[in-house]
Structure formats: C-alpha cells, structure tokens
A and B are shown apart, each in its own frame.
Chain A
Amino acid sequence: MIKIEHLNKIFNENRSNAYVALKDINLHIKPAQTVVIKGVSGSGKSTLLSIIATLIKPSSGSLMVDEQMIAKLPDTHASHFRNVHIGFIFQAFNLFDELSVKDNVAMPLIVSENRQERIDKKVLEAMELANITHKKDQSVHNLSGGEKQRCAIARALVHNPHIILCDEPTANLDRENSLKFIEILKSFKALGKTVVIATHDPLFDNLESVDRTILIEDGKIR
C-alpha cells in the first residue's frame, strides 16, 4: 500500500527562483494495483514518481509504503528501501551502453547480493521474464529500442521489488514495441506488483489492465 497525504514539493525553497512542483497531493494506491498518472510535460508526474522512489524528499506531507514512513528517510536507508522495494523503468532506459545485457540487469544486485551464483540465477530469471535472455551477452548499444526496453524491464524486476515505477516508458518506443510493453504490464499484474506509470501516451487510456488513471495538472491531482 502506498499512502500519500498532503504532500508538497517546492524546488529551490526559500529562494527567489522557488518553484512549486506538487501541491497537496493525496493518493492511496492498493497493493497489486496498476495506476497511470497522466499529465502534460512539467505537470509534476515525474516528481511524484521520484518522491515515491525516495530519490527526492518532499517539502512537506507524508508518504508511507507498507506502513513505513519513507518521506524523510536518510540517504542510506532510502537507498536500501529503493534497492529492496522499487523497480524503476525510465523513459530513456538509462542503461550502461558498454555493458552487456546481463551485467546491466545485475546492477541493482551489486549492493545487495554477495554470492555470484545467486546474482547469476536472479539475472537469468529476470531476463526470462522480460524475454531478453537470447541477447544476454550482447552490449546494450547493439540493441534495438524495444530490446533496450526489455533489458530495462529485466533490471527493474531482478531484485523482485513489489513496486514498479515507470516514467514515460513508451516515449522512446514505436507503436509495436509500445504495445508489447502494455502486454508486459499484464505480466506485472500477474506477478502481484504495484505499478505506477507516469505518461502522457494515449495508448494507456482505457486499458483493461489499468486499475486507476489519475490526472495531474500544475502539480495538483484533478
């Protein structure tokens, strides 16, 4: 359960260039729900995802995940929380181009796993889920956009997080690959993952696999 109450985010607070990105956000997301946050660029949806991922801290308000207050966690605990509970899929994939697919997928495990055999096993399972095993030894820069997306999905799943956050996941994909991603969303649901997608792609409108769609405008939920 993700529980957000009266959450505000102001960038450059107490400065002349202060900017209010999120205003009084209240949002409850139940376990295994798939929620789409829609809004135009700059509306605050990516900021909201980053706060849920503990990448940035809110200026005020509370954020609870599974009854745990995570809004103001210190860096070490926030990093640990992220490493255990959050899988992140980015718009630009954010992979290390020079590394192989399997090494990219293994990146989150570097900090949490010591035994190489366990890393190898988990990486293989994640690559199978994302259907990218056949490219495991290839460098990422040799992959197509769709394959990069699948590599990023495998990386997001490898440490078995229960929350998957997707920031504009189809922005860099053609229609065919975007539809494949939507199919993968169904498998996330089948795995019992809570999925939060920030997007302005109309492909996500009225999807059967999406439980809720939230519209965000000028930092406020409408």
Chain B
Amino acid sequence: MPNKVFFNFLFLLIFRHRSKHIAIFIISTLVVILFSSVMLLSHAIEQDAQASLSAQPDFIIQKMHAGRAVETPVEWLDELSEIEGVSSALPRVYGSYFYTPNAEYFTLVGIDLFDRQISESLERLVKDLDVKDFLAQPSMIIGSGVKTHLDKFYYKEHYTFRTPAREKREVSIYDSLLSETNIVSSDMILMEESLARDILGVDEELSTDLVLYVPNELEHDNVKEKIILLFNNIRVIEKEELSTAYAQMFNYKGGLFLLLYMVVLMTFILILYQRYSMISSSDKKEIGILRALGWSVNMVIRLKIMESLIVGLSAFVLGILLAYGYVFYLDAPLLSEIFLGNANLSNKITFNHSVDFGLLTLLFLFFMAPYISAVLIPVWRIAITDPLEAMK
C-alpha cells in the first residue's frame, strides 16, 4: 500500500494534528530522556567500576578495634604470605588528605613500585609509565577530579603537602590516571609508599590495610577461611564482594529510578490514551472519507498507527540522543551525584561512551510497547466510526 501519495497523506495528517502530536512528542521525549539517562548512566558506571576493580587485589585485610578499622600491623604479612595459594601479600598505605584551597578530601594511596603486580596494575592505569623516572623525585599520579582541583589553583607541575607535624613535602605531578578508571580513581592520588606514610603519618610497622593476591579463584574460599582463623578482630574483604557492593549500590539506585519511571510511564500512557481518545469532528470526517473511498478498518488503523509511530519514534530517537548527550557530554549533572554520592570529592566524572544494542533494544521495548498499546485502542475506536455519520 505505501506509495508517494500515501506518505504525502501521512505527513499531512501529522501536520493537521500537530497540536496533539507536539504535546505527545514533548511528553514522550521527556519520558525517554528520563529512562534512558538512568539506563545509560548505570551502564556507564558499571563499565567504569569493572575497569577500576580489575586492578584491585583479591583480598583486603583490615584490623578492627571496637567495630572500626584501625591501622594493621605489617608483621602479619609473614603469616599471611605462608597461606597456600597466596602469590603475594603486601601492605597498603592510604588515607584522606584535606585539600585546603577547595576544602575537599583527596584519597592518597601509597604504592610499592618494586612489586611486580603493583607496577603491572599501575601500567594499566597510567599510559607510558617509567618507574625510574617516577622514583627519581617525589612524584604522584593523580585522578581526573584531583587534576581539575589542582589546575584550578595553578598547581600544574607540583603540589606541596603538609605532614601531620606541619612539615612541607613538595611532590611533583607525574601524570594523571586514564579516564576508563574514573569512578574509583577520580579523587585518588598515587605516590611512593614511604612518601605516603610521611604525608599521612603512618608508622613503618603499620599499614592502612593488607592485601593478598590469590590467582586461583577456586582457592578464594579456602584462603578466606584460613585468614579468619589466623587473627582475631579482622575484616576480610574479597574483590568479588567489592564488585557486588558496587553493583548492588548502582542497581539499587537504578531500581529506584526504574520504579519512578514506571510511575511516570503509567501517567504517560494515561495521557496518551486520553489524548488519542479525543475524537474531533475533523478526525471523524477524515476517517469517514477514507472509508467511503474504499479504505478498510485495518488500513485506517495501519495509517493511524504509522502516524503515531512516526511521532513516537522521533521522540524516542531524540530522547536517546539527548540522554546520550546529557550522560556522555554533560557528564549527567544531578543524576551522577545521586548515583555516586559517596566519593570524597564532589567528583567531576567523565563517563566513557558505551552503548550496547541490548540496552537500546530494552529502552525501545520499554517505551514503544506501552506507547503502541496506548494508541491502538483509541485508534481502533476512531476507525470503526460510522462513515456516514462521520461525514455529516
């Protein structure tokens, strides 16, 4: 059936009913923006979190005192490294550092660059890392959020930290972390371990926590049991737990938005149904003429559905494009703060562009299926209008 005259007529219909379509187009676009922003953002966060977590150790061990984590003795490493399956056990030194110019907290992390695993992990996070060059002078690698804050006060080459004893430590800025690791690393500063101890005031025999690398995943449960048996008052965090915690946090927030979306979608369907149910005399006349000229009810329904589909699809495409721009070019202001509210820094996070077809299909189905159902019934009611009455 579709030919040039049909499409001329179809676009004429859309133009004739423009006030109805414009209202529906605007509401539809807003609904798509809301839903797709949440979906795109949560997908981007998941990708980002996975990229960051891949460099994490398999176990983190913290000493607990009165229910809170305290500094962990480095001497525990001797016993931990003897556990079967542990390829390496290392102390970690990190903590929050208050950045006075902007009244923000940075996460300062000490690293042992002579450790092969750490230097390998770091190579994944920093492009063209030259360890010798890095260690030649007190240096640091900074996350993108830290870089933004330092740049603001023209700390382009170096920054002077203060130790708890108020002594100055000038540290040069070596490089910044790759943007794939934005979520975890935006507020992070990586520096040589002894320098971090100095700035954070952590003694040589203590560490913030201890980390273990256990390459065989099947051994993880055994190793965890053995760690717990070795010491009292400890907390053992597995890499999978971190990953699950991240996923749960974002899924939980995504779920809340999904719930909100469902409410919005229901309202939208009601509006849509109500708008399309209003059959004007010109609508009736239009259908009456078509029926008199030999159009069947099915053809009229097809025409009306195509009319609604063009409006719905345009709104869907525009909504997706705007949501894409909002998430990946504007970095999802407001929404990203709701999703990532736990960071020390009010991070300026740049999400890496990532959309998969599965996600787009899901977005399409979540929008178009209710849209078409809401349109179908009123359209059918119009199509079966008595043509004789309609044309009077």
Interface residue ranges, A against B (CB under 8 Å)? 46-47, 50, 53, 55-56, 75-76, 78-80, 82-84, 86, 88, 90, 92, 94-96, 98-99, 103, 106-116, 119, 155, 159
Contacts and interface: CB of A to CB of B under 8 A. Distances in A.
Contact of A103 (B9, B291, B295, B386): B9
Interface in B1-20: 1, 3-6, 8-9, 12, 15-16
A98 B293 contact: no
Given A56-B388, A111-B294, 4 more contacts: A79-B299, A88-B293, A94-B288, A99-B8
A98 B16 CA distance: 9
B293 A76 contact: no
B3 A88 contact: no
A110 B1 contact: yes
Contacts of B12: 96, 98-99
Contacts of A114: 1, 3
Nearest to A161: B294
A88 B9 contact: no
Contact of A119 (B3, B297, B299, B387): B3
B296 interface: yes
B305 to A, nearest CB: 16
Contacts of A88: 292-293
Given A79-B291, A90-B391, A110 B5 contact: yes
Nearest to A93: B289
Contact of B4 (A47, A90, A116): A116
A116 B8 CA distance: 13
Given A50-B388, A92-B391, A94-B289, A76 B296 contact: yes
Contact of A112 (B290, B294, B388): B294
A212 B12 CA distance: 42
Contacts of A107: 5, 9, 289-290, 293
Contacts of A116: 3-4
B285 interface: yes
17 contacts: A76-B297, A80-B296, A82-B294, A88-B292, A90-B391, A94-B292, A96-B9, A98-B15, A108-B293, A110-B5, A110-B6, A110-B9, A111-B1, A111-B295, A115-B3, A116-B4, A155-B293
A102 to B, nearest CB: 9
Nearest to A90: B391
A94 B3 contact: no
A18 B222 CA distance: 85
Contacts of A46: 388
Contacts of B3: 110, 113-116, 119
A116 B291 CA distance: 22
A78 to B, nearest CB: 8
Contacts of A110: 1, 3, 5-6, 9, 295
Contacts of B391: 90, 92, 94
B285 A106 contact: no
B298 interface: yes
A56 B386 contact: yes
What are the 4 A-B residue pairs with the smallest beta carbon separation, nearest first?
A83-B294, A79-B296, A82-B294, A106-B5
B145 to A, nearest CB: 56
Interface string B371-387: 00000000000000011
B292 to A, nearest CB: 5
B8 to A, nearest CB: 6
Given A98-B16, A103-B8, A109-B5, A55 B292 contact: yes
Nearest to A106: B5
Interface in B290-324: 290-299
Given A96-B9, A99-B12, A53 B292 contact: yes
A103 B293 CA distance: 13
Contacts of A106: 5
Contacts of A55: 291-292, 387-388
Nearest to A159: B294
A159 B15 CA distance: 27
A103 B5 contact: yes
A32 to B, nearest CB: 22
A161 to B, nearest CB: 9
Choose among A95, A109, A159 the residue with the greatest number of B CB atoms under 10 Å from its CB: A109
Contacts of B295: 79, 83, 110-111
Interface string B1-45: 101111011001001100000000000000000000000000000
A46 B16 CA distance: 29
Contacts of A47: 388
Given A56-B386, A83-B293, A119-B3, A76 B9 contact: no
